[in-house]
A and B are shown apart, each in its own frame.
Chain A
Amino acid sequence: MNRYSWRTGTLEGVMIVIALIFMIPVYVLINLSVRQQSDLSSPLAPTANPTLDNFGAAWAQSGLGQAMVNSALITVISVGLLVVLGAACAYGLARATARWSPPAFYLFMIGLLVPFQLGLVPLYRNFAAMGLLGTVVPLVIIYVGLRLPFTLFLYTTFLRQIPAEYEEAASIDGAGTFARFRRVVFPLLRPITGTVIILNGLFVWNDFLTPLLYLSGSVNRTVPLAVYSFVNENTTVWPLVFSALIISVIPVLLAFFVFQKTLIQGFASGVKG
């Protein structure tokens, strides 16, 4: 059973075929990105005279470099805050036995169900009234608030699996609440923290609607905005558009390839709850 049998070989063959079919859209994406703009042949036919010029042009015209810096900054700060605040909050919620604890938890979970568009405009006006617009600060605040329910959901389900004995041992050693959280609980949360980072990171990196409203009229564009406006400025010039898209996902894909094992293990500990 532990050997690579003919069954495994068949499975491998089948899966490779399925993956190839699954990858057809990506093939078209890459195939068109290396194509001359005036080449109107079938999107499935391999490009006759491939060129990398589109990538150069896309990079030069789209402002993706600056956008990547902006997006990276926003993503790192938002996700960092989410991890710290989310883990702390989940700890509080999971360990508190007071009557307010379950209702508080449900109140947070409501956030999973509310469509963001409901509060989109009121929130914008609130920020305006506070004079916080025109920077990326509102974006960071929004992402933290918006993704907290999901983060808490992951953290609390995970925390409830961790026996309180670990902490009790530490408390006998005389550690205070904060020290216990920092030294005992947070390290125990590491596997699920990986999941929290990746899922929230993906969300923030890819989010389109929020920066659209909050950064519209700003020069601080994020990657989705840069790609999107590049698409609009070059409608139907697919080779350029697809080149820009490929450039925009390279960092994320690299990260996934490198971290996939950690990611899956993180998920594993996250969804056992």
Chain B
Amino acid sequence: MTSPAIAPATDPSPSTAARPRTESVHRRNARRTGSRYLWLFIVPAAAFYVFVVLIPSMQGVFFSFTDWNGLSADWSFVGIDNFVRLFEDPVSIKAIGNTFLYAILSTVFENLFGLLVALALHSRIKSRNVLRVLFFMPVVLLSVVIAYLWQYLFQVNNGAITQLLHAIGLADANPNWLGDPNLVVFSISVIVIWQFTGYTMVIYLAGLQGVPQEQLEAAAIDGAGPVQRFWYVVRPLLAPAITVNIMLSLIRGFMIFDQIWVTTGGGPADTSHSLSTLVYRTAFQFGELGRGTAIAVVLAVIVGILGFIQYRGLLRGGAK
């Protein structure tokens, strides 16, 4: 196949130089799809997207190379200073590590729990509809208030969670859930996992709608145990749901903000920051918009790389 000039999505009439070849491609497409007006379907949506996401993000990238304070009219270029400072600052290094930790912990456990719950509720048990609503309930609560609620539950000394530990016989246990630098990231991850297990559950339940009972039964008759049945029958059919869920969980995990901001504000001693909370603190609390957007750029690059890897996985999964 020859390679014709690429016509921009929004331009129905390509430049004169490329016209003969391009037009023939257009006509061919038109014949195949029955329409040459498909770009008209895209333009309105693209306009919103370009205005809201692309242009401002590019402006943001631009400002990440400046010392703009978000307020005054003047600013100057500082080259890559903002990025250099980011990678020299122990707080942001810690935050990068935390961001990965939040993302990995929440992705693994949201999906593990969500899948198990979905498998259990994709059964004949009578209360399944009610239970589905119960597990889904946290998803509809506001993140901010879930964070407040858990801050209350996680209180040291006599918070509800600690009282529960006492009730099950761990009388001396008194973890400093949100105040211990070694524990705080895990505690906050618990909040996120609790909040989104229902989300992954619903998507897994949906994926399970496509798993025919007969196939499971046939496997059972062949003497396959539950683990084998899951691995050889359910898992391949659930692959798309797993990919979608992991992608959504990862993106959520990398962007985590509300739960940290409300429960610890990044503390104690700057040990629970994610990149998102650092962006917010730097750009808005410190009034250093240039530096804040530089952190956002780093976050975008990290998520972009992972998203790309995931998306390739998704394509491969979808090709099956």
Give me the interface of A with B, judged by CB distance under 8 Å: 1-4, 8, 11-12, 14-16, 18-19, 22-26, 28-29, 42-44, 85-86, 88-89, 91-93, 95-100, 103-104, 107-115, 117-123, 126, 141-142, 144-146, 148-149, 152, 157, 164, 167-168, 171, 176-178, 180-181, 202, 206, 208-209, 223-224, 227-228, 231, 238, 241-242, 245, 248-249, 252-253, 256-257, 260, 263-273
Chain B residues in 8 Å Cβ range of A228:
142, 144-145
Interface pair B142/A115, CB less than 8 Å apart = no
Known: A117-B280, A145-B53. A4 touches B45 (CB 8 A): no
Interface pair B38/A92, CB less than 8 Å apart = yes
B276 at the A/B interface (Cβ < 8 Å)? Answer: yes
The smallest C-beta distance from A57 to any residue of chain B, in angstroms, reads 17
Given A113-B303, A115-B255, A271-B203, 6 new contacts (CB under 8 A): A100-B6, A115-B279, A208-B144, A260-B132, A268-B207, A268-B209
Total contacts A-B at CB 8 Å: 295
The smallest C-beta distance from A242 to any residue of chain B, in angstroms, reads 8
Separation of A20 and B297 alpha carbons in the complex (Å): 42
Chain A residues in 8 Å Cβ range of B210:
268, 272
Query: Contact flags (1/0) for B225-263 with A, using CB distance below 8 Å?
Result: 000000000000000110010000001000101100000
Query: Contact flags (1/0) for B1-43 with A, using CB distance below 8 Å?
Result: 0001011110000000000000001100100111101111110
The smallest C-beta distance from A250 to any residue of chain B, in angstroms, reads 10
Our pick among B48, B123, B135 for the contact of A8 (Cβ within 8 Å) is B123
Separation of A249 and B7 alpha carbons in the complex (Å): 48
Interface pair A271/B145, CB less than 8 Å apart = no
Interface pair B42/A113, CB less than 8 Å apart = no
Separation of A157 and B258 alpha carbons in the complex (Å): 30
Query: Contact flags (1/0) for B47-77 with A, using CB distance below 8 Å?
Result: 0111111111111110100000010000000
Most buried by B among A26, A92, A107: A92
For A253, the closest partner residue in chain B by CB is B140
Q: Which of the segments B83-91, B152-160, B178-186 contacts the partner chain?
A: B152-160
Separation of A8 and B128 alpha carbons in the complex (Å): 11
Chain A residues in 8 Å Cβ range of B103:
none
Interface pair B33/A100, CB less than 8 Å apart = no
Interface pair A227/B144, CB less than 8 Å apart = yes
Main secondary structure on A side of the interface with B: helix
Most buried by A among B51, B145, B205: B145
The smallest C-beta distance from B220 to any residue of chain A, in angstroms, reads 7
Interface pair B57/A114, CB less than 8 Å apart = yes
B150 at the A/B interface (Cβ < 8 Å)? Answer: yes
Interface pair A271/B244, CB less than 8 Å apart = yes
For B243, the closest partner residue in chain A by CB is A271
For chain B, the count of residues having a C-beta within 8 Å of the partner chain is: 108
Interface pair A11/B60, CB less than 8 Å apart = no
Chain B residues in 8 Å Cβ range of A252:
140
Chain A residues in 8 Å Cβ range of B296:
115, 117-118
Separation of A234 and B46 alpha carbons in the complex (Å): 43
A-B contact pairs, 29 of them (CB 8 A): A11-B123, A19-B131, A24-B164, A25-B146, A26-B137, A26-B138, A28-B160, A88-B44, A91-B38, A92-B40, A96-B39, A104-B42, A112-B307, A117-B279, A117-B292, A119-B56, A119-B59, A120-B56, A141-B52, A144-B48, A145-B49, A145-B51, A146-B52, A241-B148, A256-B133, A256-B140, A260-B133, A268-B207, A273-B240
Separation of A192 and B26 alpha carbons in the complex (Å): 30
Interface pair B7/A99, CB less than 8 Å apart = yes
Chain A residues in 8 Å Cβ range of B146:
25
Interface pair A25/B194, CB less than 8 Å apart = yes
For B205, the closest partner residue in chain A by CB is A264
Our pick among A11, A19, A96, A111 for the contact of B135 (Cβ within 8 Å) is A19
Separation of A215 and B259 alpha carbons in the complex (Å): 22
B187 at the A/B interface (Cβ < 8 Å)? Answer: no
Interface pair B33/A95, CB less than 8 Å apart = yes
Known: A114-B300, A115-B303, A264-B209. A86 touches B149 (CB 8 A): no
Known: A4-B124, A177-B35, A208-B144. A118 touches B49 (CB 8 A): no
Our pick among A18, A25, A271 for the contact of B206 (Cβ within 8 Å) is A271
Separation of A192 and B314 alpha carbons in the complex (Å): 18
Chain B residues in 8 Å Cβ range of A114:
53, 57, 300, 303-304
B102 at the A/B interface (Cβ < 8 Å)? Answer: no
The smallest C-beta distance from A237 to any residue of chain B, in angstroms, reads 12
The smallest C-beta distance from A270 to any residue of chain B, in angstroms, reads 7
Our pick among A97, A123, A206, A263 for the contact of B56 (Cβ within 8 Å) is A123
B318 at the A/B interface (Cβ < 8 Å)? Answer: yes
Separation of A110 and B251 alpha carbons in the complex (Å): 12
Interface pair B150/A25, CB less than 8 Å apart = yes
Our pick among B44, B121, B251 for the contact of A112 (Cβ within 8 Å) is B251
